[in-house]
Amino acid sequence: MTDSELVLTIARSKSENVRESLKSYFKGEHLTIAFTGALTDIGTRHDVIEWFERYFEKVEAKPTITKDTNVLIVGDKPGSKLGRAQKMGIKMWNEQDLRSLITAACKSKEVK
């Protein structure tokens, strides 16, 4: 499933299926994320972590990229983590990608 397909799946889901879609996409109950660059549009890093905590049993935010990192959130003026994540094939989302996901999850709550 691509990032775009994930957003479409979640947007079309009932709210209780958002968790299942995310767990399937990331293949598990635990999510490890890292950040690079400054978030300018969607709140703080803590806000992002709290959003993911709604859907996963355990969310870890690591200061470095490792083989266990599921996704790198890329803000303004990213640092060296960006290059390392690219080399390791780690999913990378910018603020627009994350906003699309959050918007889709919010819309899914409106599905009756």
Res. 72: pLDDT tops 70:
yes
Q: What's the pLDDT band for 111 if we cut at 50, 70, 90?
A: very low
Number of other CB atoms surrounding residue 110 within 10 Å: 9
Task: Answer for the pair 19, 55: CB distance below 8 angstroms, yes or no.
Answer: yes
- Mean pLDDT computed over every residue of the chain: 83
φ, ψ of residue 94 to 5 degrees: the values are -90, 180
Res. 110: pLDDT tops 90:
no
For each of the domains in the chain, give its residue range(s) and CATH number, in order of start: 27-104 (3.40.50.10190)
Nearest to 33 by CA among 54, 16, 14, 48: 48
**Chain centre distance of CA 112:** 25
